[in-house]
């Protein structure tokens, strides 16, 4: 049976936005969800802490803190999460969003965009906004328009065998099964599984597995767990190997990520 979330949340706007660009922060308790919905404006979703999942059709998109998710106008979507998450949404009227991608995708969040989002988080305001805040929001939209489009941070697949292989990895992130062993478990050849991963995920299974471990590590870091313990929990033989992987994928060490979340 489908899982029923403990907390049901509702979108703040329905028929119209109170301004062409609207910024809003929110808190999602653990095991919360929004209903499936769509709107005539675009939405950029960013997580300050925790990871928000957004489902679009059969595809799942995640928002670790070095990425945000862009949803073009008219796209039906549902937001949900397993752990508590502090996030924000930037709602952009269709005529203001013409320079942004016309597909749902993860956008790389650079230092300037992150600084703007943090500033807006700590200086909340209600629309209609004063001129200086309107200009700041316009700069943020301009930064998103030139951000690198990264597809989905942790993409899924409709292929039955590949989907089962990914589910096995999700069920046990510490598993050390090789690609050949995964392929055998889902009854395809290793070459076939590798080809389907590149086709549907746009990356190797090794890269996908490492991204999964980053997503699993983030709430552990936020809860105060030691890096050495997290490395062991995720199947690494040493903390240094885990730190190197985390830094390569996020641009910061686990301790730097933790300090950023504490701030």
Phi/psi at 168 (5° precision): -60, -40
Residues 125 and 170 in one domain: no
Residues 115 and 196 in one domain: no
Split into its structural domains, the chain has a count of 2
In tens, the pLDDT along 101-123 reads 999 999 999 999 999 999 999 99
Residues 115 and 181 in one domain: no
CB 64 within 8 A of CB 218: yes
Pull the structure tokens for residue 161: 């065998």
pLDDT at position 225: 93
> What is the secondary structure of 161-199 as a DSSP string?
HHHHHHHHHHH-TT----HHHHHHHTTS-HHHHHHHHHH
From 145, 173, 199, give the residue that closes a domain.
Answer: 145
Q: Does 224 map to a domain?
A: yes
From 122, 145, 168, give the residue that closes a domain.
Answer: 145
pLDDT at position 2: 60
Residues 124 and 190 in one domain: no
Residues 65 and 171 in one domain: no
In tens, the pLDDT along 160-182 reads 999 999 999 999 888 888 999 99
Q: Is the pLDDT of residue 1 over 60?
A: no
Q: Is the pLDDT of residue 190 over 90?
A: yes
Q: Does 155 map to a domain?
A: no
Q: Does 154 map to a domain?
A: no
Q: Domain holding 122: CATH number?
A: 2.60.120.280
* Mean pLDDT, residues 216-231: 91
Residues 136 and 41 in one domain: yes
Residues 239 and 135 in one domain: no
pLDDT at position 261: 67
Q: Is the pLDDT of residue 3 over 60?
A: yes
Helix (H) or strand (E) holding 220: helix 205-222
CB 193 within 8 A of CB 181: no
Q: Does 141 map to a domain?
A: yes
pLDDT at position 150: 80
pLDDT at position 222: 85
Q: Does 153 map to a domain?
A: no
pLDDT at position 262: 64
Residues 134 and 16 in one domain: yes
Residues 20 and 104 in one domain: yes
> What is the secondary structure of 87-150 as a DSSP string?
EEEEEE-GGG-TTS-SS-EEEE--HHHHHHHHHHHHS--PSSPPHHHHHHHHHHHHHHHTSPB-
Average pLDDT, the chain: 91
Phi/psi at 147 (5° precision): -70, 150
Q: Does 2 map to a domain?
A: no
Q: How confident is the model at residue 263 (pLDDT cuts 50, 70, 90)?
A: low
Give the C-alpha separation, 180 to 185, whole Å. Answer: 9
In tens, the pLDDT along 73-97 reads 999 999 998 888 889 999 999 999 9
Residues 139 and 172 in one domain: no
Q: Domain holding 167: CATH number?
A: 1.10.10.60
Residues 53 and 90 in one domain: yes
pLDDT at position 60: 84
From 118, 145, 172, give the residue that closes a domain.
Answer: 145
Q: How many residues does the chain have?
A: 263
Residues 12 and 134 in one domain: yes
- Domain of residue 244: give its range: 160-262
Ranges 2-6, 81-85, 130-134, 194-198: which has the least confidence: 2-6
In tens, the pLDDT along 28-68 reads 998 999 999 999 999 999 999 888 889 998 788 888 878 99
């Amino acid at each position: 049976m489908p899982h029923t979330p403990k907390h049901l949340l509702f979108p703040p706007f329905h028929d119209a936005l109170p301004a062409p660009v609207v910024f809003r922060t929110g808190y999602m308790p653990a095991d919360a969800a929004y209903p499936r919905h769509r709107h005539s404006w675009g939405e950029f979703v960013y997580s300050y802490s925790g990871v928000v999942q957004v489902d679009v059709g059969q595809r799942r998109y995640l928002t670790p803190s070095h990425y945000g998710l862009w949803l073009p106008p008219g796209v039906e979507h549902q937001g949900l999460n397993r752990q508590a998450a502090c996030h924000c949404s930037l709602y952009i009227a269709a005529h203001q969003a013409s320079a942004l991608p016309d597909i749902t995708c993860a956008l790389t969040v650079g230092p300037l965009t992150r600084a703007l989002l943090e500033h807006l988080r700590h200086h909340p305001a209600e629309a209609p906004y004063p001129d200086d805040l309107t200009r700041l929001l316009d700069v943020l939209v301009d930064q998103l328009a030139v951000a690198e489009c990264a597809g989905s941070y942790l993409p899924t697949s409709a292929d039955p065998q590949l989907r089962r292989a990914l589910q096995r990895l999700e069920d046990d992130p510490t598993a050390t099964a090789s690609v050949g062993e995964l392929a055998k478990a889902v009854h395809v050849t290793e070459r076939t599984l590798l080809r389907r991963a590149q086709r549907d995920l746009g990356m190797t299974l090794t890269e996908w597995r490492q991204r999964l471990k980053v997503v699993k590590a983030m709430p552990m870091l936020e809860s105060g767990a030691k890096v050495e313990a997290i490395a062991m929990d995720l199947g690494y033989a040493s903390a240094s190997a885990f730190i190197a992987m985390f830094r390569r994928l996020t641009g910061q060490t686990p301790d730097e990520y933790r300090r950023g979340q504490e701030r």
